[in-house]
Amino acid sequence: MGIVYRATYLKTGQDVAVKVLAPDLTADPKLARRFQREMDILKKLRHPHIVRYYGGSSSGAQRFYAMEMITGGSLDDLLRKRNTLSWEEAVEYGIHIAKALEHAHNEGVIHRDLKPGNLLLTKKGRIKLSDFGIARDTQATALTQAGKTVGTMAYMAPEQITGKKPVSRRTDLYALGCVMFQMLTGRTPFESETHPEMLFKHIQDDPPSVREYNMDVPIWLDRLIDDMLAKEPEDRPFDALAVQVQLEEVRTKVAEQESIIRETAAGGQSALTLKEGDRQLATKLVGKKKKKRKKKQLEVPVYERTWFLGSALAGVLLLVVWSLWPESEAAIFDRIQQVMASDDPGDWGAAESDIKDYLERFPEAQQASQVSGWHDQIEMYRAERRAETNIRFGRDPQTEAEQLFVEAKQYEKFGDRLTALSKYEAMVTLLKEQRDDSEARPFINLARRQAQRIKSSVGSSTDRTAFIKEQLAEADTLYLAGEAVRAREKWQSIVRLYGDNAEFEVHVQKARARLIDPKASMQAEEVSGLLDEAVDTLDRATREATDL
């Protein structure tokens, strides 16, 4: 129904996505109202996991609205490339989607068309829910159009198909269950070559177990998805928040399971000394104990005798313990060092689990400070990327530390390194009490790094007034050369960065005048210059006549 274009907002230079109602549908008043309804829904949804709405309007009969530009593709694109995701990735994405649904449901909005194609991915790997309203409203028509609804049908809850029960927040949870099933198995719960058979399966057939297709999936995650795919809405989780809690519990239970294995391998607990809670967990994993068979009073081969089997089992256990024995400090450090030697910061994340393990196990080691520095290096890279992404998409900084860093960075990008240095140093001083805060620490370290770089590279050009004059002159040159957009960017930067500083009021006023009417402003300045020159000439002539 809607056509999406990439556009640039000239006032800020920000890239946005513009959704336009298809030209052949603009004459239909019903569809026009539905397009307006989608805009009204997006206006009240502000959440990190929902595509942000910037504003909408119409030009004649053409309706459109602008929204956040997401350049990482969709979950559907990702699944086409990789077919399946790890259970850890599926849980992470599931939590993102559940958070978005929780916010929408709290605002009284049911998405009704949740599917991988409507789940967009940022470059940082964050899920963004998109396409509210239109897709569901047009399903009654689309059901008869071959090739356009199979994807949607694959995620439709029974109550959407039969209409016997009202659509509710649990309708979206059914669709989320279908999406998670696909992330883990590479296929949807129900598949068919015909539309009617597909719908019938949603209504009548029991969904297969995720573990039938992927045995790596934890049993708790398998059960949660099975609950989400219940035919009756009341048998599904209560709401999206409940889904988030259960997804987090999957992580916790898997961690507990791995903890039992590690402790047993390290000699901490044996099968005879398991705590009651751990014993219950082990029972759930293994199942009921098998009944012992009665020994037959017959001669059995050596390899079936108790002493032989016991010896073999002991050997296997020794092998398992040896393979799971904790690595040495040197081995972990060498592996971290190899990863962190990469020139590509994107590779550093592979060392993160080893870094955390090293710092937990060897906090007093000789190399601990260097490993801690590598951890800071990774966090700094991520924080800087996050700040740059927020700037690019027009999002507000998430913390005070990010706000201060972004402000200083803007001066540095503009070329005013002296002001940037002052801002960075002030930031380090202001936030010194927060240096151990996990959110603030990366930005404080970034400020220190940038300040040091500026100090080592700054030359004699430290006169800010001269610098601003140079920028104004450069902007004029760009404008006269036909590069109006770049010229406006420089004038806007001068107004934004120095508008509150009385010391540069004259230059700011000049930049504002250029933004209003560049040609008139330049002509007025030229006339003023000629008048000043004429006055100077007259003054010199008067002084010379007096001397005579």
Which sequence positions are flagged as catalytic? Answer: 113
Q: How far apart are the C-alpha atoms of 486 and 513, rounded to whole Å?
A: 16
Q: How far apart are the C-alpha atoms of 374 and 14, rounded to whole Å?
A: 33
What is the enclosing helix (H) or strand (E) of 62? strand 62-68
65 - beta bridge partners? 19, 56
State the residue for tokens 């889904």.
243
Instruction: Report the chain's terminal Cα–Cα distance, integer Å.
Output: 86
Tokens of 298: 């017959």
Q: How far apart are the C-alpha atoms of 210 and 204, rounded to whole Å?
A: 18
Q: Specify whether the CB–CB gap between 487 and 479 falls below 8 A.
A: yes
- In total, the chain counts a number of residues equal to 548
The amino acid sitting at 147 is G
Q: Specify whether the CB–CB gap between 49 and 96 falls below 8 A.
A: yes
Please report which residue ranges of 341-461 form alpha helices under DSSP H. 352-361, 368-392, 400-414, 417-430, 441-457
Residue environment code for 259-278, b if the CB has 16+ CB neighbours within 10 A, otherwise e: ebeeebbeeebeeeebeeeb
Closest CA to 105 of 176, 163, 165, 183: 176
